[in-house]
């Protein structure tokens, strides 16, 4: 067919009433989704896994180092003492203990509360030294 003959072919135009235009995207989406569920999903590939070799479970959990247990206990005692002091907001403080040396981390609202936390920690039995690393932050 020559180019001239192609341009002379009548064109087909589809006209849609303007009142149907808002519903057209919804209708097309419905048709597309309806066609999605027609075919079953492809089968899943089967992976070959090596056989599981059972290893004997340890008879017992190894005992915790006595010093680590003592440090944990001391830190908990100091935290309890800080929480008992109503003026302090001990929820903003962390306590680490190592061989009697207690380190305080976190924030307080004032320098007075920072010193109070240090004194409360020092009064706990087993504390030999307090390293006060509390930061004073107004509004904390």
Q: Are 77 and 126 in contact (CB under 8 A)?
A: yes
DSSP 88-125: S-GGGEEEEEETTEEEEEEEESSHHHHHHHHHHHHTST
- pLDDT surpasses 90 at 134: yes
- Tokens 């235009």 belong to which residue? 21
Q: Assign 14 a pLDDT band (cuts: 50, 70, 90).
A: low
- pLDDT surpasses 70 at 89: yes
In this structure, how many other beta carbons lie within 10 angstroms of the beta carbon of residue 86?
7
| Average pLDDT over all residues of the chain | 80
Per-residue pLDDT at 60:
65
SS3 at position 29 = helix
Token pair listed for 107: 């924030």
Per-residue pLDDT at 127:
94
Per-residue pLDDT at 35:
60
- pLDDT digits 0-9 by tens, 67-83: 889 999 999 999 999 99
Q: Assign 13 a pLDDT band (cuts: 50, 70, 90).
A: low
The β-bridge partners of 102 are 97, 130
CA distances from 26 to 11, 13, 31, 33 (A): 27, 22, 9, 11
What is the domain partition of the chain in residue ranges?
A: 66-136
For the domain bounded by 66-136, which CATH number is listed? Answer: 3.30.1340
Per-residue pLDDT at 138:
81
């Amino acid at each position: 067919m020559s180019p001239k003959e192609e341009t002379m072919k009548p064109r087909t135009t589809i006209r849609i009433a303007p009142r149907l235009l808002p519903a057209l995207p919804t209708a097309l989406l419905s048709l597309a989704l309806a066609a999605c569920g027609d075919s079953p999903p492809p089968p899943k590939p089967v992976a070959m896994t090596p056989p599981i070799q059972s290893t004997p479970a340890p008879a017992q959990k190894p005992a915790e180092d006595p010093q680590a247990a003592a440090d944990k206990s001391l830190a908990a005692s100091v935290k309890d003492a800080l929480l008992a002091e109503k003026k302090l907001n001990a929820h903003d403080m962390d306590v680490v203990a190592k061989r009697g040396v207690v380190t305080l981390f976190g924030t307080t609202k004032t320098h007075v509360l920072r010193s109070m936390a240090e004194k409360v920690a020092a009064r706990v039995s087993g504390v030999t030294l307090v390293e006060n690393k509390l930061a004073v932050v107004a509004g904390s």
